[in-house]
Chains A and B, each alone.
Chain A
Amino acid sequence: MKKLFSIILAVMVFALAACGGGSESTGSQSDGSKFAFKTGNITVKMNADAENVIANLGEPKSYFESESCAFKGLDKQYTYANFVVATYPKDDKDYISSVTLLDDTVATAEGIRIGSTVQEIDTAYGSNFTALTGESRSYVDGDAELQLIVTGGLVSSIAYYAKTDVN
């Protein structure tokens, strides 16, 4: 009986294989976004291959890695003097998952930094945003999201996030 079932199953597997399609979705490579963090002459794009970016950023102040539950690979977090870069693993490579700005010595490419006003945000990014809690905002372009946390009319935190199905 088991032998018969094995034969039927094998026929089904090969028949289904022949119908094509069915590629598995496990993340996306960047198609580009206007939102990217720039520090010196280094641009950190969301979902970009992290290897060169991390190498060019130099030695971080601290480094933290955590294994993914069940799947192979490590989520990594590199903390520099005034920003944090995080990566996610996919197919034996690491990709940028987020950048968080930590103080007002760094700014977005459009000039917004911690302490900027809502009016300055409007000027830099316009009104096409999703409102978050309170006055905070989310701007999305392509595969990147820019989150601006606003407290008391002033930016209190800035973060870029990769839009991806890998969490």
Chain B
Amino acid sequence: MPKYINDIIEGRLIEEYYDNAGGNDVIFVSDCECYENISPIKMYEEYGITSYIRGSSQQLIWQSYYLLEETLRYDTPKVVVFNVLSMKYNEPQNEAYKRMTLDGMRWSSSKWNSIKASMTDEEDMITYLFPLLRYHSRWSELTVEDFEYLFKTKKSFHQGYLMRVDVRPVTDYPTVVPLADYSFGDNAWYYLNKITALCKEKGIPLVLMKAPSVSPVWYDEWDSQIVEYARENDLFYINFLDLLDEVGINWDTDTYDNGLHLNLSGAEKLSVYFGKILQDRYGLADHRSEPETAEKWQGYIDFYNEMRDDQYRELEEYGYLKSYGGRKPE
């Protein structure tokens, strides 16, 4: 199976959690709208909030549900945050994306159920049980990297956050094309209800969020449905697209891919703004004065700062983030 070491590192997001599981007061479950837009390290530095993002590329809502179910076996968070963009998908999508969520999960009933919910008719369960069967044709593409990391992996994330310090400003906005149907699908609603019910059963407040992004388009019609759902279920919903000025997002400096995701500058701004809301609203503890936690998190902060400095060094040296998935300047 792909090792996701230097090329598509997002493929290792899910498995990296197990090294840092436990002791997280906030759990985010989401697609890239959390893992590229929120920095748990910054939230800790500012407020002493401990958090982890269980994110993966194009994470579908049933995968979010089963990931949350699994995470609650390792962590007892005070708050769960779910980003709502994935409500637009009602059916299994691209296989490569699905595998980036599923292959990294440890074996459990949650993984089994997530695979079942994610598979299309053409796919075989056995290839998810033994990914080698799916990727055996890749033997001729094996690289030094595959063997170097045969028994180990490379740490790349910061409590589930994918760091990017480069800047590619928003220069244009997508044309908003009308849809035939703005209603979220039954399957999406089914799993949102399950997430809500799971959090209620565990006594954990659930927060719905929509990250700030220029693309993909978040339709007003979609937003209205989430507003109504939050009202009916007594949930807190925060749409950061309505709060760009308050957060301080500047699309000239705070995105690395024309507004699809925030860069480090943008993610830190969002984390400072959102962290205060979470702490004020849910009385989250400041863990910075606890020696054991402080020592552990200091290690995370050191790694975060090292990577930040290394990314700036690469930008200086190559003009782009050569070993962090950056785009070469045209």
Query: Chain A interface (Cβ within 8 Å of chain B)?
Result: 2, 6, 9, 12-14, 16-17, 19, 21-26, 62-67, 69-71, 77, 79, 84, 98, 100, 132-133, 136, 138, 147, 149, 156-157, 159, 165-167
Once bound together, how far apart are the Cα atoms of A69 and B211, in whole Å?
15
CB < 8 Å: which of A16, A25, A64, A69 contacts B57? A69
Contact A64–B174 (Cβ < 8 Å): yes
Once bound together, how far apart are the Cα atoms of A7 and B140, in whole Å?
17
Q: Which residues of the other chain, A, contact B327 by a CB distance below 8 angstroms?
A: 67
Q: Which residues of the other chain, A, contact B215 by a CB distance below 8 angstroms?
A: 64, 66
Query: Chain B interface (Cβ within 8 Å of chain A)?
Result: 8, 10-11, 31-32, 57-58, 93-97, 100, 132-137, 139-140, 142, 150-151, 172-175, 177-181, 183, 215-216, 257-260, 327
Question: Would you list 7 pairs from A and B whose C-beta atoms are within 8 A, ordered by A residue?
Answer: A9-B150, A22-B133, A66-B174, A67-B257, A84-B175, A133-B183, A157-B178
Beyond the given pairs A22-B135, A70-B10, A70-B97, 19 more chain A to chain B contacts, judged by CB atoms under 8 angstroms and listed by A's residue number, are: A2-B151, A13-B132, A14-B139, A17-B136, A17-B137, A17-B139, A24-B137, A26-B96, A62-B172, A63-B172, A64-B174, A66-B174, A66-B257, A69-B10, A69-B32, A70-B57, A159-B177, A159-B180, A166-B94
Contact B95–A25 (Cβ < 8 Å): yes
Q: Which residues of the other chain, A, contact B151 by a CB distance below 8 angstroms?
A: 2
Closest to A166 in B: B94
Closest to B135 in A: A22
Q: Which residues of the other chain, B, contact A12 by a CB distance below 8 angstroms?
A: 132
Once bound together, how far apart are the Cα atoms of A71 and B11, in whole Å?
10
Main secondary structure on A side of the interface with B: mixed
Contact A79–B175 (Cβ < 8 Å): yes
Closest to A132 in B: B180
Contact A16–B139 (Cβ < 8 Å): yes
Q: 6 smallest A-B Cβ distances: which pairs?
A: A16-B136, A22-B137, A133-B181, A70-B57, A70-B10, A17-B139
Contact B258–A149 (Cβ < 8 Å): no
Once bound together, how far apart are the Cα atoms of A157 and B182, in whole Å?
14
Once bound together, how far apart are the Cα atoms of A98 and B175, in whole Å?
13
Q: Which residues of the other chain, B, contact A65 by a CB distance below 8 angstroms?
A: 258
Once bound together, how far apart are the Cα atoms of A19 and B132, in whole Å?
13
Once bound together, how far apart are the Cα atoms of A64 and B97, in whole Å?
23
Once bound together, how far apart are the Cα atoms of A79 and B94, in whole Å?
26
CB distance from B126 to the nearest CB of A (A): 12
Once bound together, how far apart are the Cα atoms of A149 and B221, in whole Å?
16
Contact B180–A147 (Cβ < 8 Å): yes
Once bound together, how far apart are the Cα atoms of A149 and B136, in whole Å?
45
Contact B136–A19 (Cβ < 8 Å): yes
Q: Which residues of the other chain, B, contact A21 by a CB distance below 8 angstroms?
A: 137
CB < 8 Å: which of B31, B58, B94, B216 contacts A165? B94
* CB contact under 8 A between A64 and B172, given known A17-B137, A147-B180, A165-B95: yes
Once bound together, how far apart are the Cα atoms of A79 and B175, in whole Å?
7
Once bound together, how far apart are the Cα atoms of A92 and B115, in whole Å?
30
Q: Which residues of the other chain, B, contact A19 by a CB distance below 8 angstroms?
A: 136
